[in-house]
Chains A and B, each alone.
Chain A
Amino acid sequence: MIDLSVNFGGIKAPNPFWLASAPPTNSGYQIMKAFDAGWGGAVWKTLGVPVVNVSSRYGSVNYRNTKMMGFNNIELITDRPLADNLREIEEVKKYFPDHAVIASLMVESRAEWEQIIKDVQNAGADGIELNFGCPHGMCERGMGSAVGQEPEVLKTIVGWVKEAANIPVITKLSPNISHITDPGLAAVQGGTDSISLINTIKSIVGIDLDSYAPYPIVDGKGSNGGYCGPAVKPIAMHMLKDLAQHPEIGKVPLSGIGGIETWRDVVEFILLGATSVQVCTAVMHYGFGIVREMEAGLRQFMEEKNYNTIYDFAGKALPNVTEWKHLNLKHKVVAEINPDKCIGCDLCYISCDDGAHQAIALSDDPTNRIPSIIEENCVGCNLCSLVCPVEDCITMVKKDDGTESLTWNERTLNDDIPVTFDDDRAGGKGHFVPTPQDALKHRK
């Protein structure tokens, strides 16, 4: 029997699908509608001293015909009075007592923190999330990512909050930092119950070619925004993994955020150690209904793999994410083209010839454009298989027999690594490359 319910660092919810603190959680109306649609939790749009927003507020990166592959905003925290939000929190909790309502907070002074924590607790919030991420506007005022980038300050504030709060505290981290483990560790040392990440990434998504202003344009000017949506998922997953693998940080529950849209994304985040996920852009794009696809997919995956709860597979990918130096240098794959599937676009040829290792030859038969792999030149980089527009047409075939293993780490220990500029032990030694003049062979 599949049970999707979670207990996330003391916050209970019927499932791990939560709305991230953002426009979809602006009001009680939206959150009630979301819970009704199937979301298990919601982090309220960040509360604090209400702001004044600009118009317009969003920009996006469209790729080919995909709209909003990346999404960018210059919106601040809530602009609604605290009293209105508190009243609505209370009302939502009345209708949905078992769903998680988490109040995201951002204020400046210790006194403000203590006051607002009391207020949201009284309203019935199940938990608090500390917004140390906002990379635009709020950081100029010493809040948001300005705190997220200063581990010491972050630790202090988490400490104040923990002292004042009697409900669980989630610390939300900013990705605008070199080592996510620095603020992560500070949060844990400050006593946080759990961590969520990532908030948005500082970004400029485009420049208007007539007004020379960045999007979104506010009366002829723009500002850096916060980047999110499918484009940021790889960065979010990497940071999640860094925290999950950390001996101390990894002990607290992690809520994954960043580019989550489908059940596959959810499963991937869980495999990297998340035990709840938060979604913003996908809901802003498609509405609350997307949770049905997420839930159905997650259930099916769990059924097929025989898991009862998400804890049965949370973090299962972590042991396989290792450092480069531990990868097997004896593993060898080469590309193979399935001539029955090939449509003759020759993109693999040009990508390998111009962008990789000159290991693909064009066909000399004018009636068929199927290229061929020059196996001895192929380094097994994958580029051609990634470029090929036909599903499963180019596959990477294993060529080693699996009996040998040797890592860079082991070679270093054996004193068997290239150390001089012309060292014979380098990987490319003796590897075929055409002469520079060959490039001009086809010149007219």
Chain B
Amino acid sequence: MAEYKKPKTKAEFDKNFKQKKPLMNDTEAFYEASRCLFCYDAPCIQACPTSIDIPLFIKQIHTDNITGASKTIFDSNWLGNACGVVCPTGVLCEGACVYNHQDVPPIQIGRLQNYATNKTIDAEKVIFKVGESNGKKIAIIGAGPAGIACACEARTLGYDVDIYEAKDKPSGLTVYGIAPYKITNEEVLKEVDYLQKQLSFNIKYNNAINSKEELAALETNYDAIFIGVGLGVTRHLGMDGEDKEGVVGAVEFIEELRMKQHEIKVPAKVVVLGGGNTAMDAASEAARMGARKTVLAYRNSKQKMGAYGFEYDLAISAGVDSLFNVTPIAITGNGKVEGVKFAKTEMVDGKLQTNMNNTFIVRCDMVIKATGQAKQGHLYAMIDDLDLDNKTRIKINDEFQTSNPKYFAGGDAVNGGAEVVNAAYDGKMAAQGIHNWLNK
């Protein structure tokens, strides 16, 4: 079990959050690339949500055509560099690699991808071309992966693009939410900077679209609008004591961690509530910030957790303890958190039941709620005729168009929370959808 010292400097922080998929060197990339079989109609391509021609870019790496490899990657996925390291490749491309059937380690597709794009970005190679201007304008709400991908694609199609972003940095949860051991802030921002330099879309920072007037202005000034606002803040649980000092939402906790790194303080004992990937990340992160005890508490069994097995394993290897079949019923303490009162749960006739006769308290100084993000319902309510599903996700058709024809949407706002790669795909396809619609 790993023991992490509280990081006091940037160097100590970087050590505790050592990159899981470090950059390959030339030799490693060459050898790894040489293993690819160049499968016919390759299963890895089929497993990539953006259908990158993986054997092609691997062969290009192998023949030292790094720029060509990057082109192949970005042609399918505008966030090819970030995706190389943040994608759950084990369940996507690498999970489909035929070598798995031979009990041979699959090709490290993600790291090869990251290797190629990193080199091209560092060399500032110009590989994209802005489309000939068609005089039309697109507004994008949210500079997350979905918004950035939509902007890039729209620029290649000749549209002017303005992105309205609530925060002061681009790329949404990639920079604010993803675990720091998957990608560094610098690397995330470097990619967006590279794209923006070549494709010249505008990002208006600190510019949240929050009112009907602002929406009306967009509708007047733009030919189409893309909604890529992702999800919102951590959902309120409505539990006793939830407002005590020391109770934080996971996304808020992680955002602060990403921005302030070693400057934030994590106390000695932390309880993380939830069983999804965000919970695993938050628990891992608390442990790496030097919490002496981090307890992951999930209301159902281990098998029922939403998180990927490898994310759970990563948390455990960081020294996290776990509790299953427990549900929090109150947060105790006097103004400040002192513990979480749990009740045991059990499956009865296929339904999870809470046994209020079997309760106990876990002492702690901090509670991280990784129990899901709220949707941006307040914003959607201000848009005329915008249909949502029963989970407050925006409904779209095959062209990524919403029920209000001027609005298109993609990413977490539509799928309810998936991966960067899905958002990147949606953004790209939505731009094509807009193009098709405006050229009907």
Interface residues of A (CB under 8 A from B): 64-65, 342-347, 349-350, 362, 369, 389-390
Contacts and interface: CB of A to CB of B under 8 A. Distances in A.
B181 to A, nearest CB: 30
B13 interface: no
B28 to A, nearest CB: 11
B43 interface: yes
A228 B234 CA distance: 68
19 contacts: A64-B34, A64-B62, A65-B31, A343-B101, A344-B43, A344-B101, A345-B39, A345-B40, A346-B40, A346-B41, A347-B37, A347-B38, A349-B40, A350-B40, A369-B43, A369-B98, A389-B37, A389-B102, A390-B102
Given A343-B98, A343-B101, A343-B102, A65 B34 contact: yes
Contact of B40 (A342, A347, A389): A347
Interface string B18-56: 000000000000110011011111010000000000000
B360 interface: no
Given A65-B34, A346-B39, 16 more contacts: A64-B34, A64-B62, A65-B30, A65-B31, A342-B101, A343-B100, A343-B101, A343-B102, A344-B39, A344-B43, A345-B40, A345-B98, A347-B37, A347-B38, A349-B40, A389-B37
B99 interface: yes
Contacts of B34: 64-65
Contacts of B43: 344, 369
Nearest to B39: A345
Among A349, A369, A390, residue most surrounded by chain B Cβ atoms (within 10 Å): A369
B144 to A, nearest CB: 32
Contacts of A350: 40
A30 to B, nearest CB: 30
Nearest to B32: A65
Nearest to A64: B34
A443 to B, nearest CB: 15
A390 B40 CA distance: 15
* Pairs A-B, 8 closest by C-beta atoms: A65-B34, A343-B101, A346-B40, A350-B40, A345-B39, A343-B98, A64-B34, A345-B98
Contacts of B101: 342-344
Please classify how large the interface on chain B is, using the bins under 10, 10 to 19, 20 to 34, 35 or more: 10 to 19
Given A64-B34, A65-B30, A65-B31, A343 B99 contact: yes
Nearest to A63: B34
A341 to B, nearest CB: 8
Contacts of A345: 37, 39-40, 98
B42 to A, nearest CB: 8
A345 B35 CA distance: 13
Pick the most buried of B37, B40, B98, B101: most chain A CB atoms within 10 A of its CB: B40
A346 B96 CA distance: 14
B24 to A, nearest CB: 14
A342 B37 CA distance: 14
A64 B33 CA distance: 9
A218 B41 CA distance: 44
A260 B251 CA distance: 63
A65 B101 CA distance: 23
Nearest to A387: B37
Interface in B132-173: none
Contacts of A65: 30-31, 34-35
A132 B35 CA distance: 41
A362 B102 CA distance: 20
A374 B30 CA distance: 37
A65 B61 CA distance: 13
A343 B99 CA distance: 7
Interface string B349-379: 0000000000000000000000000000000
Contacts of B98: 343-345, 369
Nearest to A209: B64
A61 to B, nearest CB: 14
Contacts of A344: 39, 43, 98, 101
Nearest to B99: A343
Query: Which one of B37, B38, B100 has the highest number of Cβ atoms from chain A below 10 Å of its Cβ?
Result: B37
A65 B34 CA distance: 6
A344 B46 CA distance: 13
Nearest to A66: B34
B102 A347 contact: no
A369 B39 CA distance: 11
Contacts of A390: 102
Contacts of B39: 344-347
A426 B257 CA distance: 76
A362 B41 CA distance: 10
A347 B55 CA distance: 12
A442 to B, nearest CB: 11
A390 B31 CA distance: 19
Contacts of B41: 346, 362
Contacts of B38: 347
B432 to A, nearest CB: 16
B34 to A, nearest CB: 4
B43 to A, nearest CB: 7
B62 to A, nearest CB: 8
Nearest to B46: A366
A384 to B, nearest CB: 12
A243 B38 CA distance: 41
Most chain B CB neighbours (cut-off 10 Å) among A64, A344, A345, A390: A345
Interface in B301-317: none
A279 B26 CA distance: 32
A344 B106 CA distance: 13
Contacts of A343: 98-102
Nearest to A366: B46
Contacts of A349: 40
A422 to B, nearest CB: 35
Contacts of B37: 345, 347, 389
A35 to B, nearest CB: 36
Contacts of B31: 65
B300 to A, nearest CB: 29
Nearest to B103: A343
Nearest to B38: A347
A346 B38 CA distance: 10
B64 to A, nearest CB: 10
Contacts of A389: 37, 102
Nearest to B102: A343
A350 to B, nearest CB: 4
B403 to A, nearest CB: 30
A432 to B, nearest CB: 21
